[in-house]
């Protein structure tokens, strides 16, 4: 039997989580957010859990890394909604789209009533379309060695050991050191060319929020200001005090990385702030590229509409879509 998995995707600042929480369509909301997975990074990543309570669960066996996970749930609600996959790892730990997909697949398997909400397009893409080379973990030693090489040299190495892959890469990827290094990493590992599906017998039904871009820009700016006011700089200072470094995976996050130069007194707070806002806007643009032509997603234009009618639209899209999907199944 086919199951339907509702997904709400949209750029930063589009209000995804708000809609998901207030819609009460699902009791298990799974956050697809590659930054809110980090502990101690709350203000900058917009972890808006307010007065929710956190409940810890056991570390599941499906992941060999040490990941503590649980969910937040809302107070003051007759039907408390659980918000999953926040605060999974420390800022120094690496975490991948596959890790996230494994956890998500586990949850979907365990709970009938789930919904995905988030703006990390690559995470959602990995989950719903699967991935290749799943058996091959990252080889950080190799990466470090390869990172020192020039682009041409990397292409040469890949061309020697896996010419087909190099030939198949498009111009953008062929000039991207990270992608080349990953390809070399895979090529050096035999039997790694297996693919993995995370979802079985699950039909994805997505809503893709499309805000007015000019409005989104002003919203991003005011939200950033607000986060400064809430004590973002103290949060960063605290992370540094805890011993986290600027090159830790978690610290490569907008709202944090831009203030590196402020903490080293190379730039003013305002300069860093402007850089941050600019990064957020560019990011929002990149976010809009995922799923824009994906038939599984329906666009919801939010400009000129109030929250209530948007909520209604999303809810009816899911209801109609879900019943249609089910009847077809």
Residues at the contact surface with RNA, assessed by CB under 7 A: 12, 33-36, 44-46, 94-99, 119-123, 125-126, 129-138, 143, 147, 170-173, 175-179, 181-182, 186, 195, 249, 252-255, 278-283, 285-287, 289-290
Question: What would you measure as the largest C-alpha separation in the chain, in angstroms?
Answer: 62
Q: Which of 249, 261, 277, 264 has its CA nearest to residue 89?
A: 249
Cβ-based nearer residue to RNA, 172 or 306: 172
Give the nearest distance from C-beta 16 to RNA in angstroms. 11
Residue 54 vs residues 51, 73, 96, 177, 274: alpha-carbon distances, Å:
10, 7, 23, 40, 34
Cβ-based nearer residue to RNA, 111 or 283: 283
Give the nearest distance from C-beta 247 to RNA in angstroms. 9
The order of strands in the sheet holding 82-84 is 53-56, 70-73, 82-84, 28-32, 114-118, 3-9, 202-210, 297-301
Count of alpha carbons within 13 angstroms of residue 238, beta-carbon side: 11
Cβ-based nearer residue to RNA, 126 or 321: 126
For tokens 């995470």, the residue is 123
**CA–CA gap between residue 203 and residue 280 (Å, rounded):** 31
Cβ-based nearer residue to RNA, 207 or 220: 220
Cβ-based nearer residue to RNA, 131 or 210: 131
Cβ-based nearer residue to RNA, 74 or 137: 137
Helix or strand or coil: residue 54? Answer: strand
208 backbone dihedrals φ, ψ, rounded to 5°: -120, 105
CB 5 within 8 A of CB 25: no
Cβ-based nearer residue to RNA, 228 or 281: 281
Give the nearest distance from C-beta 63 to RNA in angstroms. 8
Q: What is the DSSP letter of 192?
A: -
Alpha-carbon torsion, ordered 165, 171, 174, 177, to 10 deg: -150
């Amino acid at each position: 039997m086919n199951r339907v998995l509702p997904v709400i995707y949209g750029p930063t600042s589009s209000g995804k989580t708000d809609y998901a929480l207030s819609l009460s369509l699902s009791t298990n909301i799974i956050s697809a957010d590659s930054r809110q997975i980090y502990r101690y990074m709350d203000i900058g990543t917009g972890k808006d859990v307010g007065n929710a309570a956190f409940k810890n669960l056991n570390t599941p066996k499906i992941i060999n890394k040490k990941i503590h996970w649980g969910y937040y749930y809302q107070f003051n609600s007759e039907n408390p909604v659980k918000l999953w996959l926040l605060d999974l790892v420390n800022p120094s730990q690496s975490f991948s789209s596959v890790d996230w997909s494994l956890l998500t697949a586990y949850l979907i398997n365990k709970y009938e009533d789930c919904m995905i909400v988030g703006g990390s397009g690559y995470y959602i893409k990995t989950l719903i379309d699967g991935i290749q080379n799943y058996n091959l973990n990252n080889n950080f030693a190799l990466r470090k060695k390869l990172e020192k090489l020039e682009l041409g040299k990397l292409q040469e190495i890949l061309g020697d050991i896996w010419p087909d892959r190099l030939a198949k890469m498009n111009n953008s990827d062929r000039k991207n050191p990270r992608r080349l290094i990953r390809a070399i990493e895979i090529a050096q590992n035999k039997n790694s060319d297996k693919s993995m599906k995370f979802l079985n017998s699950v039909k994805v039904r997505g809503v893709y929020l499309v805000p007015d871009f000019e409005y989104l820009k002003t919203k991003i700016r005011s939200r950033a200001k607000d986060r400064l006011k809430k004590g973002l700089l103290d949060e960063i200072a605290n992370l540094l005090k805890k011993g986290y470094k600027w090159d830790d995976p978690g610290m490569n996050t907008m709202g944090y990385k831009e203030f590196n130069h402020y903490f080293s007194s190379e730039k003013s707070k305002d300069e860093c702030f402007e850089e941050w806002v600019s990064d957020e806007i560019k990011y929002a643009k990149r976010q809009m590229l995922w799923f824009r032509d994906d038939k599984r997603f329906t666009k919801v234009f939010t400009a000129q509409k109030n929250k209530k009618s948007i909520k209604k639209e999303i809810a009816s899209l899911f209801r109609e879509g879900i019943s249609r999907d089910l009847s077809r199944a």
